[in-house]
Structure 1
Amino acid sequence: MITASKIIKPTKTSITLHSGNPYVLQIRNTSRYRKIRDVNYQYIQQSKLPTMHFQKSLPRLPIPDLSKTGERFLRSIKPLLTDDQYNQSERRTLDFVTNDGKILQEKLIAKDNRCKNTSYISEYWFDLYLRDRAALPINYNPLLVFQNDSRTAYNDQLLRATNLLISAVRFMSSLREQILEPEVYHLNPKKSNTQTFRTITGLLPEAVSWYGAYLFKAFPLDMSQFVGLFGGTRLPQLNKDKIFHDPSSKHVVVQKNGNFYIFDVFDADGNILSPSEFLGNLSTIIKDDTPKAAHPLGILTCQNRDVWAEQRAHLESTGNQESLRKIDSAIFNLVLDDIVIQDDKHKILKHFLHGEGTNKWFDKSFSLIVTADGVSGVNFEHSWGDGVAVLRFFQDVYNETTSKPFVHPDTKPSDSNITVSKLDFNLDDKSKDFIEMAKKEYNQWCESLSIDYILYEGLTKEACKKFKVSPDCIMQLGFQAAHHLLRGNYVGTYESCSTSAFKHGRTETMRPCTEKTKEFCDSLHLNKSSKEELRAIMQECSTNHSQLVKEAAMGQGFDRHLFALKKIAAENNLPRPELYDSYEYKYLNKSILSTSTLSAPSVMAGGFGPVVKEGFGIGYSAFPDKLGAAVTSYKHYNDSSQFIEALHKSFVDITKILSC
């Protein structure tokens, strides 16, 4: 029903690639008129502050002082090495800082000064992802699962998929029109998350708007990755992939039973389809009785990137180019699965992390997955961006669909604007052989993976704060203690930390295995310290941990800096410094414990695969009522269930110490 009409100038996007960033797009407006019906329905937000208002004035990611990087590197490796090993590494590090590193630092600073519209790490980080030939599922693509809707009827697959799709398209429309609320970290929300803040900073020119926000103790975050959410796909290429992006895409691709369907989400006037029209299109797909695809093409995205690149080239040469481009250019991928989860956490983690691969397309910027019983979540490709953009989208969509959904149990599907069409593929015998081999290999790979989880209710986020210890530190202490309990040693540990407070910031590594955590675990397991002494050490750990997190978030870690210096050496055909081939550098960067957290009330579960075959992948959250972690590993090397048992014991030990 038309409730309002307005003639507006919409944003028609054209793109310019930013120097030093092979993906970030600059959006320019051109004028044409169209008729909008029901203006409020078109957008999830209509912010007075333009989406990119702070982007121009964001501070640039700092290049750390080289001597500080050397000191931080040495501190991080000390708990992992013997005294003799550490003495040797100290000599190598000092030599690097005073000789080769000094030359590389000068060249890195000079390059950074030439590329002031980006960050020193951006180009290198894109290159790292796109050159890796490892398959995307498990190795790279993370999972995030929504909490179920508290109203059972709204968890019906068709109903939930329709509401999620509507809200996702509304989010995209706000982003395209530059009226999506900018992402801002409010240090004191009562003072800065206000209309006054928005009015004052909105009046400031873009070139100085960040400084106005800073006066409110509010910190705008980089929004450059947000355009990567929609209309994007990672295309397999030999040696190095590339990212394809269609900024004006109007259709979604839907997968069911390994088959692909598409339909436009905008009508002929450029308006978002009505709720009943969305319902009608998805109902048409769900009711379609086409059997499961005998040769499901999606399984090919589960392979080594060079293998898939060659196979895709063959598919394109045999008449499938147009259908593949429809998948590539779709706003995103909506996956309708026939599996029933029934609150089985193991099944949830396996299905949203990898599944059978026959009804997925892991190359898409993200896939929105809805099971037969309405359990929903996303699996996203990681090269284009990080958790900040995905989590913002995730939360906004969840909040709207669970509080103000557009489709209800009594909503009737419309039979107008039904534009569903099924994509057809010409598969010759060679292509069919590709698919059958990929299915077999992917199944074997997934079977080699061990997945388990813990929900520990003995300690909560608020309880940690009450005891004056960081919840994140407590979880990381638990991981270190669990590994030490199982293996008796300390290993390279990676905690991801966002640097989105800076223009084109990506992530920095925070190294949570410190001398203090080692002291705590040794004291705990040797039973030589009292609870009071252990608690004192734990509080020191927390203080140290919080400082390291702050340094990483402020661009004062050392991992990205050392990585960039290594790339500078290669770019300039300079000898590779001894440090990069040293035992200590390789040992630290073999992330046996790879950890990351995306905590929000909307998140039921999150996780990813181990990054090395001998390692653990640990996605974790400190919830208001419990601590949770999903742990993955390869069965031949580790047992995730054993790690979970050790982690539970560690959490119990920590709880007893805090409660003393």
Structure 2
Amino acid sequence: MVVRLLLRSWPRAPAVGPGVPCRSLSADTGPGQYLHRSIVPTMHFQDSLPRLPIPKLEDTIRRYLSAQKPLLDDSQFRKTEQFCKSFENGIGKELHEQLVAQDKQNKQTSYISGPWFDMYLTARESIVLNFNPFIAFNPDPKSGYNDQLTRATNMTVSAVRFMKTLRAGLLEPEVFHLNPAKSDTETFKRLIRFVPSSLSWYGAYLVNAYPLDMSQYFRLFSSTRLPKSIRDELLTDDKARHLLVLRKGNFYVFDVLDRDGNIVSASEIQAHLKYILSDNSPVPEFPLAYLPSENRDVWADLRQKLLSSGNEETLRKVDTAVFCLCLDDFPIKDLVHLSHNMLHGDGTNRWYDKSFNLIIAKDGTSAVHFEHAWGDGVAVLRFFNEVFKDSVHTPAITPQSQPASTDSSVAVQKLNFKLTDALKTGIRSAKEKFDATMKTLTIDCIQFQRGGKEFLKKQKLSPDSVAQLAFQMAFLRQYGQTVATYESCSTAAFKHGRTETIRPASMFTKRCSEAFVRAPSKHSAGELQQLMAECSKYHNTLTKEAAMGQGFDRHLFALRYLAAAKGTALPELYLDPAYGQINHNILSTSTLSSPAVNLGGFAPVVPDGFGVGYAVHDTWIGCNVSSYPGRNAREFLQCVEKSLEDMFDALEGKSIRS
């Protein structure tokens, strides 16, 4: 079973825009070396974070059956109920007790962390489309700063500032503030820093602040996923000082930190990037970048061939680089082009195994494309927000800045790979597979301008529930059924938390969707409003449960993993076709909300599914959908738009037309 992990952000994002003051940079650390100097150490709360709870088995079974009900007919549901009953009273009870005992012996982590890493690292499919998502930045508000060289320099410097701030323990801890007026203050920070790390979480909790797990952050930089047969490995080398730059399929490296660990001057970085941008070398005949898009076992075998052909040192430079900067040689035409380019590109100019690729197109359009095994959206979004804010408010250079008069031909090393005939054949084959696969992917998007968060909150509705309800209605209108739906929710409020699944398809959404789609004229606007309110209330419950580690998906996943690890026969519950069906997520959805984000996206997680990236903004709703040939993304979006129009009509007291 391959479970796809998607993004869901906590509603914390820095204010961005003209006139927003930025933190001053400390003069004693050299100009521009750090983003800020937090008086509370970065990992201050980590030791005292609460542990991810293992739900009670009876609660998991109850939630599982509630999620199954809208997907099954009566006779199927009765069979699934029977499987659940015998699981809960038999093998499931034993496995649950073993899981709880194992968890008590591993207090330094969570019960899901190990199995979740394994799930990712043992997956053999290509990580392109199957796992790696992207998030695109908004343009710099000052148009001149969107010049490719200027933006690449500024974002590189801001990214390295983030890295230095993080490694020095000066990055502000990630905290979810329920009452910022009380907890997001200098007074609170001055007090909490004196509370011992073993108790600090409780001090934050007293003022309604919830520190988040930051254990994934160290893998943001100098990290890569190494292909190995059976199970990949994650490599991190925090001593590396160089940046990897890809342009036209050519690889370059240069140092962004000097021997003392200080950031190289921005004008030098600008000079080196200008030198790379002026290199007229064509795309190599055999672009190495196709290889990480291969099946993982195939790539592992080819990597061994690369290593034994004298490329060990060169590959080491690729693997340990602080991150990968991709300079694309064309402007972005529109949002669909942006999504395709940032999600997969043409295969020549990304290193998909790096923890993240920072991509900057000819017109300055920028995005982060990231590998998912090492971490989740919380860490990536924090990095994303900070880099956007810093590069906009404290840019290292201006469009008028002149590059340093340094000899970049000495400082910049172009990497050359020795390729045998077997490797050339492998690259050719990887290219053919890549090109064939990308041709099958369709991406489309809409922007619903009639209203957003502000209007829906006035109606006392959860904006997220309305978006999810629109997807349920749209699928019912398009295909006549309710299907397995996945919405990711972070469990970063717990030590080594990862994600939990919200299951938006419920009996409430089914009833409401059928009323809107099949019999709108039989219901008054007031009745439709009532149905929407019930959906919103239930969705809020599901979301809160998931965020508190009280979903059912991760618990059942861990029990199944434990059974497999112990060599126990797979319990009947997991052999039930209904279990396979609910984990075949036809609607895979994920939301991101931040002033820095333009849009985000990912591919469907099953061949007959939709990948739905969306955001409910203050006054509009954006939706970015991907599909393979088995589904029609454009038509689905038309149905989403119709669903939103109908709901807004109902909320305004208007009658609904079929």
For the aligned pair, the TM-score class normalised by the smaller chain equals: over 0.9
Matched, 1:639 2:632: yes
Matched, 1:659 2:652: yes
User: How many Å apart are 1:614 and its aligned residue?
Assistant: 0.6
| Residue 435 of structure 1: aligned partner | 427
Matched, 1:534 2:536: no
Contact 2:451 2:618 in 1 (8 A): no
| Residue 263 of structure 1: aligned partner | 254
| Residue 14 of structure 2: aligned partner | none
Structure 1, unpaired ranges of 5+: 1-35
Taking structure 1 as reference, are residues 104 and 544 closer, same or farther at Cα in structure 2, changes over 3 Å only? Answer: same
| Residue 120 of structure 1: aligned partner | 111
C-alpha separation in 2, matches of 1:250 and 1:133: 31
C-alpha separation in 1, matches of 2:93 and 2:103: 15
The structure 2 residue matched to 1:514, chosen from 487, 506, 513, is 506
Trace 1:210-221 onto structure 2 (pairs within 5 A): 210-221=201-212
Query: Helix, strand or coil: the match of 2:419?
Result: coil
C-alpha separation in 2, matches of 1:299 and 1:240: 20
Amino acid corresponding to residue 406 of structure 1 in structure 2: A
Matched, 1:386 2:373: no
| Residue 245 of structure 2: aligned partner | 254
Matched, 1:622 2:613: no
Amino acid corresponding to residue 479 of structure 1 in structure 2: F
Contact 2:241 2:258 in 1 (8 A): no
The structure 2 residue matched to 1:232, chosen from 219, 223, 230, is 223
Range moving further from structure 2, 600-609 or 277-286: 277-286
Matched, 1:499 2:491: yes
Range moving further from structure 2, 430-439 or 94-103: 430-439
| Residue 545 of structure 2: aligned partner | 551
| Residue 147 of structure 1: aligned partner | 138
User: How many Å apart are 1:40 and its aligned residue?
Assistant: 4.7
Contact 1:37 1:271 in 2 (8 A): no
User: How many Å apart are 1:38 and its aligned residue?
Assistant: 4.8
Matched, 1:405 2:399: no
Trace 1:321-332 onto structure 2 (pairs within 5 A): 321-332=312-323
User: How many Å apart are 1:160 and its aligned residue?
Assistant: 0.3
Amino acid corresponding to residue 642 of structure 2 in structure 1: K
Amino acid corresponding to residue 388 of structure 2 in structure 1: Y
Query: Helix, strand or coil: the match of 1:41?
Result: coil
C-alpha separation in 1, matches of 2:321 and 2:261: 16
Contact 1:267 1:417 in 2 (8 A): no
Aligned residues: 623
Amino acid corresponding to residue 632 of structure 1 in structure 2: S
Contact 1:277 1:417 in 2 (8 A): no
TM-score by length of 2: 0.93
C-alpha separation in 2, matches of 1:552 and 1:248: 38
Matched, 1:351 2:341: yes
| Residue 461 of structure 2: aligned partner | 469
Contact 2:455 2:619 in 1 (8 A): no
Contact 1:481 1:521 in 2 (8 A): yes
User: How many Å apart are 1:138 and its aligned residue?
Assistant: 0.8
Contact 2:286 2:427 in 1 (8 A): yes
C-alpha separation in 1, matches of 2:259 and 2:373: 34
C-alpha separation in 2, matches of 1:139 and 1:268: 39
C-alpha separation in 2, matches of 1:625 and 1:256: 38
Query: Helix, strand or coil: the match of 2:367?
Result: strand
Matched, 1:415 2:405: yes
Which gives a bigger RCO, structure 1 or 2 (Cα 8 Å, sep 6+)?
A: 2
C-alpha separation in 2, matches of 1:186 and 1:354: 35
C-alpha separation in 2, matches of 1:523 and 1:302: 45
Amino acid corresponding to residue 125 of structure 2 in structure 1: A
| Residue 6 of structure 2: aligned partner | none
Query: Helix, strand or coil: the match of 1:606?
Result: strand
| Residue 10 of structure 2: aligned partner | none
| Residue 45 of structure 1: aligned partner | 36
User: How many Å apart are 1:396 and its aligned residue?
Assistant: 0.6
Range moving further from structure 2, 328-337 or 568-577: 568-577
| Residue 568 of structure 1: aligned partner | 562
The structure 2 residue matched to 1:445, chosen from 437, 444, 447, is 437
Q: CA RMSD in A?
A: 1.1
C-alpha separation in 2, matches of 1:570 and 1:258: 42
Query: Helix, strand or coil: the match of 2:193?
Result: helix
1:344-385 alpha-carbon deviations (Å, 9 max, x no partner)? 011000000011111111000000000011100110000000
Query: Helix, strand or coil: the match of 1:288?
Result: coil
C-alpha separation in 2, matches of 1:599 and 1:391: 9
C-alpha separation in 2, matches of 1:96 and 1:269: 59
User: How many Å apart are 1:284 and its aligned residue?
Assistant: 1.4
Trace 1:59-74 onto structure 2 (pairs within 5 A): 59-74=50-65
Trace 1:162-177 onto structure 2 (pairs within 5 A): 162-177=153-168
1:305-340 alpha-carbon deviations (Å, 9 max, x no partner)? 111111111111111111111000001000000121
User: How many Å apart are 1:417 and its aligned residue?
Assistant: 7.7
Range moving further from structure 2, 90-99 or 155-164: 90-99
Amino acid corresponding to residue 262 of structure 1 in structure 2: V
TM-score by length of 1: 0.93
User: How many Å apart are 1:459 and its aligned residue?
Assistant: 2.0
| Residue 198 of structure 2: aligned partner | 207
User: How many Å apart are 1:569 and its aligned residue?
Assistant: 1.1
User: How many Å apart are 1:59 and its aligned residue?
Assistant: 0.1
User: How many Å apart are 1:37 and its aligned residue?
Assistant: 7.3
| Residue 373 of structure 1: aligned partner | 363
Structure 2, unpaired ranges of 5+: 1-26, 654-658
Identity, in percent, stands at 49
| Residue 11 of structure 1: aligned partner | none
The structure 2 residue matched to 1:196, chosen from 176, 187, 211, is 187
Matched, 1:588 2:578: no
The structure 1 residue matched to 2:598, chosen from 599, 604, 615, is 604
Amino acid corresponding to residue 365 of structure 2 in structure 1: V
Query: Helix, strand or coil: the match of 1:268?
Result: coil
C-alpha separation in 1, matches of 2:260 and 2:224: 27
Contact 1:523 1:529 in 2 (8 A): yes
